[in-house]
Amino acid sequence: MSLHTVKQNYKTTKIQREVLHGHKSYLLWFTGLSGSGKSTLANLVEIALHNQGLSTYILDGDNIRQGINKDLSFAPEDRTENIRRIAEISNLILDAGIITLAAFVSPYIKDREEVKQIVGTDNFIEIFVNTSLEECERRDVKGLYKKARSGEIKNMTGISAPYEAPIKPNLEVVTDGQPIEETVKIILEFINKKLKSNT
């Protein structure tokens, strides 16, 4: 924190913004291997929540790395900084009273715990998109696994870099062999239950 800055406290509060939106703001954090379906699920869940009249916004790994985090590599220390910045951005969106859906590999438990600390445990919903490496490689939507296997990509999570699965996620969805519509339904039921408990 800079020694030459002073935090400004504004009159409009997060609670007032949530009241205006008509719901509590949560951070839905989708974590899992590349190709597990995080972005697809976040997109479909957002569409459903939007259709319910809820205020939402998506933060996606590839999009963030093309903009605010384009200066970061995939080395472990840069992965950590990538997630820290995303957590701070998420916290701002949550303060605006908006449900935020974040789709990031976020391979390290300590980094996801820091996200939880930044945004607050009560605001954080960790969704583990549990898809086997074999299934992710079979899909290989971006061709990343093929490049990683040939040595073209270094620090590929699941191949040459570790993925630390959540120990106690708020929700775990196993997508191998399950229709995506069923997975979306499970996630929506969980989220809507949380929202109703705070109305």
> pLDDT tens digits, the chain, 199 residues: what are they?
567 888 888 889 999 999 999 999 999 999 999 999 999 999 999 999 999 999 999 998 888 889 989 999 888 899 899 999 999 999 999 999 999 999 999 999 999 999 999 999 999 999 999 999 999 899 888 888 888 888 888 888 888 889 999 999 999 999 998 899 999 999 999 999 999 887 6
Catalytic residue among 106, 132, 150, 160: 106
Residue 133: C-alpha distances to residues 30, 104, 146, 162 (Å) = 16, 16, 13, 12
Return the H-helix or E-strand segment holding 163: none
Q: What is the 3-state secondary structure (H, E, C) of 71-101?
A: CCCCCHHHHHHHHHHHHHHHHHHHHCCCEEE
Would you state the pLDDT for residue 9? 83
| Sequence-distant (≥ 6) Cβ neighbours of residue 49 within 8 angstroms | 56, 99, 188, 191
Would you state the pLDDT for residue 199? 61
**Residue labelled with tokens 């220390």:** 77
What CA–CA distance (Å, rounded) separates 22 from 75?
Answer: 41
**Residue labelled with tokens 């708020």:** 170
Task: Clarify whether 90 is annotated catalytic.
Answer: no
